[in-house]
Amino acid sequence: MGCFFSRRRKPGRGGEQQQQQQAGAGQDAASGEQKAPQYSWDLRAKIDPKDYTFSGLKNETVGRLPGKVAGQQFVIQDCENCKIYIFDHSATITIDDCVNCQVFLGPIKGSVFFRDCKDCKCVVACQQFRTRDCRKLEVFLCCATQPIIESSTGMKFGCFQYYYPELALQFKDAGLSIFNNTWSNIHDFTPVSGENNWDLLPETAVVQDYVPLPSSEELKAVRVSTDATKSIIPITRGRRQKNSDESCLAVFFAGDYTTANARKLIDEMTSKGFQLVQTKEVLMKAEDAHRVFQQSALEFIPLLDKGPVIALEFNGDGAVEQCRSTINEVFSGTKVFVSESKTSASQDVENFYNFADMQMGM
């Protein structure tokens, strides 16, 4: 109100320039036409929903290249016999009423929701995964939280296996860790007594047999590999039965090469026949360290302020001895917690993952 009744400012220092700017904003000197005022929101890029929707397609191969979705929401609906590839990160994705489709979805910051879909094969990375009223979906999944199925049958799950050069940065842009993957920890919201609505895909399942590489010239430009050894996500056994009674916990503390060191240890251990059961990346506090590291806690507490830790569980006879040997040979000078002995290893694993699941709300 005060501004409405305030006096007009007299031209002084800078006043002439101010008057010219006001005149230019209201009237074009050459044409004498009145100009519409411009606001900051008028300068924003206009978003066309059609650019973020695949709808009513049949027998087509379609997709989006890296950088073309850039964190927006995406909708896929009423598609049949289609191959669909989203080679970018997104906010959320809903997939409705799709039949016999093969789908790749790059990292999703929020949720992916399949509704009323059947006979689809998918590769999906997301924060939250949910299905409702679906039948016969086969999914290679990376999910940061517990996947949920509802009123769905014939569901099968495997561990996400995929690579292309832009994928690592897309995971970062979507706020997803490559080490937080609960792909096999399925919660059936509507179980039926005596029946199992979901199962795991065979260990030998190959992604390319389910979701083939794109065949269109445009999408071929994305240098995709479905080779499990190149996967951006470490391949874990998840809830599959362990081969041995012996497991080992290795915990890397935050530093310049934490991710690279964790991947190196995975390569070293799996090349010797040990199996990677599960991985986690999570922040820890001093009280958490006492519970997980016990008598070694004081040594590691000062390292917790640097960032999240990465934990790996390996399984196999001799896992503890081999893990400690590899750490000493390959990672000299790097602080790593490794289970002290075979007898303590199982308890170390249980302590850490109980803590991690509480931290992640599972």
Query: Quick one: 242-361 is in which CATH superfamily?
Result: Nucleoside diphosphate kinase-like domain (3.30.70.141)
Does 111 appear as a known binding residue?
yes
Question: Is 341 labeled as ligand-binding?
Answer: no
- The segment(s) of the chain belonging to CATH 3.30.70.141 are 242-361
Q: pLDDT tens for residues 110-140?
A: 999 999 999 999 999 999 999 999 999 999 9
pLDDT in tens, 199-227: 999 999 999 999 999 989 999 999 999 99
pLDDT above 90 coverage of the chain, percent:
70
Q: pLDDT tens digits, residue range 161-198? A: 999 999 999 999 999 999 999 999 999 999 988 889 99
The fold for domain 49-221 equals: Pectate Lyase C-like (2.160.20)
Q: Looking at the chain, which runs of residues are DSSP E strands?
A: 53-55, 61-64, 74-77, 83-86, 93-96, 102-115, 118-132, 135-143, 148-150, 155-159, 187-188, 198-200, 247-252, 275-282, 309-315, 336-338
- Asked whether residue 101 carries a pLDDT value surpassing 60, the answer given is yes
Q: Does the annotation place 110 within a ligand binding site? A: yes
The Cα-based distances of 311 to 132, 238, 337, 351, 354 in angstroms read 33, 14, 9, 12, 12
Contact (Cβ atoms closer than 8 angstroms) between residue 149 and residue 128? no
Domain with CATH 2.160.20.70 in the chain: 49-221
- Judge whether 193 is annotated as a binding position: no
For the chain, the distance separating the N- and C-terminal CA atoms, rounded to the nearest angstrom, is: 53
Q: Is 127 annotated as a binding residue?
A: yes
Q: Is 273 annotated as a binding residue?
A: no
